[in-house]
Chains A and B, each alone.
Chain A
Amino acid sequence: MLDPAHGGTDPGARGTGGIRESEIVLDFAIQVRRALELQGFQVVQTRQGNEDPSFDDRSATANAQRGAVFVTLHISSTGMQGTARVYVNSDLPQVADSNGLIPWDRAQAPFLGLSKTFGDLVQGFLAQRFKGSPGAAQTASVRQLRTTAAPAIAVEISSVTVEDRADLDHMAPGVADAIARGAAAFKPSYVVPTVTGGLR
């Protein structure tokens, strides 16, 4: 699952040169998709154009898939230009009711360990490509990740403050390659956690 963040009336981060996060991530998604397909993955996107599905709609698209991984793409407003960071969701208490159903708003809880493994792999490949990027995935309370029932990561590229949009465009092939290689490396260790009752 590929999620180009924002869209529609929500442009996301905006640079002084008119760069909009929502537009750049859509262009990045095209390259990431191509790199993943070359690795043999089937790719579904949460948006194809300038729409803005809600957080829950994006999660719903992801949660309808079986054996998926979820990558949400972002461009930051700050940070060292030319670096990339991977985030996994902060700890969420695992709560399931007597039927084994997991609350929708904590759907990520059973997948946090897998998300961390996947995130560390992708971050490792990004660090090789983009000097100054961290060596391991970091944790943050990212809203989009919380309701996603799959190994899920947010990839944030720095930043919309570049003077020339081409500086960001040049990063796209490296980001796409790192995500695709990370997904391929993660695949053998991906065993879908047993969730007896599914989501509620």
Chain B
Amino acid sequence: MTPRWKFMLASGFIFALLAAAIYFPILRRRVKRAAKLQQQSEEQARRELAQPITINPGDPRVKAKLFWASDTMDSTLVPVTVELPLSKDPVLRSKQVLNTLLAGPVDAEFRTLPPDALLLAFYVLPDGTAIADFSEALATSVPSGIVSEQLAVNSITRTLEANVPQVQRLKILIHGQEVETLAGHLDLTGTFVVNTKPASPPPASAALTPDKTPGKLAQTERKP
């Protein structure tokens, strides 16, 4: 091989290396973006399949109170008023507020529930016990710990308390099953207290009663 060919070969090799060094980070970014988009569209598709969204434009728009995390680090909840078309039917109304709660606040930092969690079903029994069936993501994606699991459950119970007075207690199922804990700590075998007052028709803008403590585990209903 002549020196001229050697020089050309080395130049070509260096050029290919430089091109790869420039192109690979761009390619990596594109692959990541594509994966993210795919993940988002899968999540969107799941949401659309699982929740033929229960917003009816004919429902009156009312000021709903939703409970998300506060901007402090003390793991408390704050009510956020959101204007929503809400049904008078307690089941539909519950689905509407819980789906809005799951969709999350504008600032994702104040989320209390995982973004991929879904409300699969919601029922209210004649005695005021509601049954909320969430997808597995609620248990697998919520940060593990007493404080974070309690924050998640309290945001659900307090949102129901503020907007659906017919719901007295709440039983949480995960993918149709009773589970022992949410993510290793918080007891899900019983029901949680939501409203302690007798049910009355939903107000246009429900108010909180500060002396109640929703979210406490009520009497467990277990087999003898």
Contacts and interface: CB of A to CB of B under 8 A. Distances in A.
A14 B141 CA distance: 12
B187 A13 contact: no
B148 A105 contact: no
Contact of A90 (B143, B147, B151, B217): B217
Contacts of A50: none
Given A80-B73, A90-B216, A156 B144 contact: no
A141 B145 contact: no
A77 to B, nearest CB: 4
Nearest to A91: B216
A142 B216 contact: no
B220 interface: yes
B144 A13 contact: yes
Interface stretch (B32-40, B116-124, B178-186, B201-209): B178-186
A93 interface: yes
Interface residues of B, number: 27
Interface in A53-101: 55, 74-80, 85, 87, 90-93
A114 interface: no
Given A6-B184, A79-B75, A140 B146 contact: yes
A10 B147 contact: no
Nearest to B181: A143
A120 interface: no
A74 B74 contact: no
B184 A141 contact: no
B190 interface: yes
Contact of A93 (B186, B187, B213, B219): B219
Contacts of B74: 80
A116 interface: no
B150 interface: yes
Contacts of B181: 143
Interface string B124-160: 0000000000000000000111111011010000000
B220 A106 contact: yes
Contacts of B75: 78-79
A12 interface: yes
Chain B interface, DSSP helix/strand/loop, else mixed? loop
Contacts of B186: 140-143
A74 B146 contact: yes
A9 B217 CA distance: 28
Contacts of B145: 13, 74-79, 156, 159
Contacts of B184: 5-6, 10, 12
B29 interface: no
Contact of B150 (A12, A140, A146, A158): A140
B146 A76 contact: yes
Interface string B161-181: 000000000000000000011
B148 A141 contact: no
A37 to B, nearest CB: 27
A13 to B, nearest CB: 4
Nearest to A145: B187
B222 interface: yes
A14 B143 CA distance: 9
B185 A78 contact: no
A31 interface: no
Given A10-B184, A12-B184, A79-B75, A141 B216 contact: yes
A76 B148 contact: yes
Nearest to A10: B184
A76 B73 CA distance: 13
Contacts of A141: 150, 153, 186-187, 190, 192, 216-217
Given A5-B184, A76-B146, A78-B151, 13 more contacts: A14-B144, A76-B147, A77-B148, A79-B73, A79-B75, A79-B148, A87-B146, A90-B217, A91-B217, A92-B220, A141-B153, A141-B192, A144-B185
Interface of B: 73-75, 143-148, 150-151, 153, 180-181, 184-187, 189-190, 192, 213, 216-217, 219-220, 222
